[in-house]
Amino acid sequence: MNRVIGEKKAYWIGGTVTAFLGVALVRLISPELEGALGWATLAAGHALVIAGLTIIVFGTRRKPAEAFVTVNEPAPETRGDG
């Protein structure tokens, strides 16, 4: 897991910042505004949350060459009663 985060740290940081900015728009700023401006910030906040989560998804994707892993040795026995 650390290898994945280390290689694509920009995706993780960018996605997290984008999602938190969207949450701030929805939970902090939008309730204080009235009318069409309030609805617009609410919609923009929800869009930013979805965009942030999408950016994080790109940070977890594997390279196509690493999609399938071949294991040459069998898994060790985990039960001790055999």
Q: Tens digits of per-residue pLDDT, 23-74?
A: 999 999 999 999 999 999 999 999 999 999 999 998 887 776 666 666 677 6
How far apart, in Å, are the Cα atoms of 14 and each of 29, 53, 58?
21, 10, 11
Q: How confident is the model at residue 7 (pLDDT cuts 50, 70, 90)?
A: confident
Quick check: 4 pLDDT over 60? no
CA distance 73 to 12: 34
Taking the C-alpha atoms of residue 33 and residue 52, their distance in angstroms, rounded to an integer, is: 23
Instruction: Give which of 27, 15, 8 is closest to 53, Cα–Cα.
Output: 15
Predicted TM-score of the model (pTM): 0.69
The answer, yes or no, to whether residue 78 has pLDDT greater than 80, is: no
